[in-house]
Amino acid sequence: MSSEPQPSLLCRLLSSTGLQALYQIGLDAHLIILSRSSRMLAYGGSSLILALFFSSLHVPDARIGLFMTLTLAGDVALSLGLALIADRVGRRRILKTGSVLMILSGVVFALCENYWVLLGAAILGVISATGGDFGPFRAIEESVVSGLAKKEERTDVLVWCELKPAGTSEGDEERRPLLNESQNDDSSSSGKHYKSWISRISRETLSIMSILWFLLMVDSLADGMANMSLTSYYLDQKFSLLKSVLGNIVSTSYLLAAVATIFASPLSRALGLVNTMVFTHIPSSAAVLLFPLPRGVVITFALLLVRMGLNNMDQAPRAALIAATVRPDERTAVMGITGMLRTLASTTGPIITGVLAEGGNFWAAFVVAGALRLAYDVGLFAMFINIKLHKDEEDESS
């Protein structure tokens, strides 16, 4: 009677945290994750100071919200267009072009204080007004990583791809070669005639994704109303904290989010993708709802930690759920449209919060946002708990 040797504790740890899958996936995915972490480092810094920056320029609260809304609205067209042509033009070229625009936009912000000039730079340069990963990058990156990863390891790898809060807390100093020139410039659709986005997606996929898109738009509206830039501004107004203290609070919450995100993969294996998304998101949503109630900094900070610590644990399972639900040749378009709709829904959030803040009801934005997030959680669980994977999923690696 033979018995197989049990894997060591280190091997089990590497497997459960996704590090083994991350190591095996290859250099291209490593570069994408490094690039994304660097980008989120910049987004995290801008989310802390953007609203405070405009406040120091004596811009009214309503116009601060308008700036964020218009920035997100401008990203909608850019994200959709670039995501849908990425497979024809080349994903690497799209990412390089976006990176150059981001650099130029940063130069404009460093040298100019005109509201409308900064607005144009934020739109074209994909400056994150909310701290979230909006713009054309995310859909392309998730599509590439999903294609590179094995089916059973996709969630593990996407967890590390989604580990953006780590980039907002501290930077990495790593050196990597450039992406292989020919790796992602060609795809199964490169030689085909361009089709409209709706014709690229099957009716079966549309019937499923239309429900998920609606729920994600509700969640994104809530996120837009209580994004980290507006949250930092609210904390500054309510408690008049030193900017260094405020920065430490936000950075600590980002760091906690990074650590918690690592556990999304083992949780999704134990609970399932939908259960992980719902049961980690509900406490975060409740923390948003209760955020305005405490009068002291300590309890408010504790609620922020609960919100941020659990907020991102649903993102990698969500990307894995979408990737497993649609056909492989639909992924880039579906993820691009998903990102576009989420951004579109987010556009109305900041301006609503700006109007509420100017009327002395800043607190109400968090109450409404928390209620909307809870509605998303309930709807997601009710509609997708018994979702089935696409039949082509099993053959995608062959």
Residue 132 is predicted with a pLDDT of: 63
Q: Give the range among 106-115, 121-130, 252-261, 301-310 with minimum mean pLDDT.
A: 121-130
Using a cut of 0.75, tell me whether the model's pTM lies above it. no
Q: Is the pLDDT of residue 329 over 90?
A: no
In this predicted model, what pLDDT tens digit does every residue of 234-282 receive, in sequence order?
998 898 888 888 888 888 887 888 788 777 777 887 888 888 889 989 9
Is the alpha carbon torsion for 269, 270, 274, 279 positive or negative? negative
Residue 173 is predicted with a pLDDT of: 32
Residue 323 is predicted with a pLDDT of: 79
Q: Among residues of the chain, what percentage have pLDDT more than 90? A: 16
Q: Is the pLDDT of residue 311 over 80?
A: yes
Rounded CA gap, 369 and 157, in Å? Answer: 30
Residue 331 identity (one-letter amino acid): R
Rounded CA gap, 22 and 14, in Å? Answer: 10
| Of 97, 92, 137, the residue nearest 336 (C-alpha) | 137
Average pLDDT of the chain, as a whole number: 76
In this predicted model, what pLDDT tens digit does every residue of 184-227 receive, in sequence order?
444 444 334 334 556 667 788 788 888 999 999 999 999 989 98
Domains and CATH numbers, the chain: 17-170+202-395 (1.20.1250.20)
Structure tokens at 238: 């309510």
Confidence grade of residue 94 (pLDDT, cut at 50, 70, 90):
confident
176, 289 contact by CB (below 8 A):
no
Q: Is the pLDDT of residue 66 over 80?
A: yes
Residue 376 is predicted with a pLDDT of: 94
Give the residue, 109 or 144, on which the prediction is more confident: 109
In this predicted model, what pLDDT tens digit does every residue of 72-87 receive, in sequence order?
777 767 766 776 676 6
Is the alpha carbon torsion for 351, 120, 82, 103 positive or negative? negative
Q: For residue 114, what are the CA distances in angstroms to 126, 132, 141, 326?
A: 18, 24, 33, 44
Q: Which residue has the tokens 């082509």?
A: 392
Residue 179 is predicted with a pLDDT of: 31
Residue 324 is predicted with a pLDDT of: 78
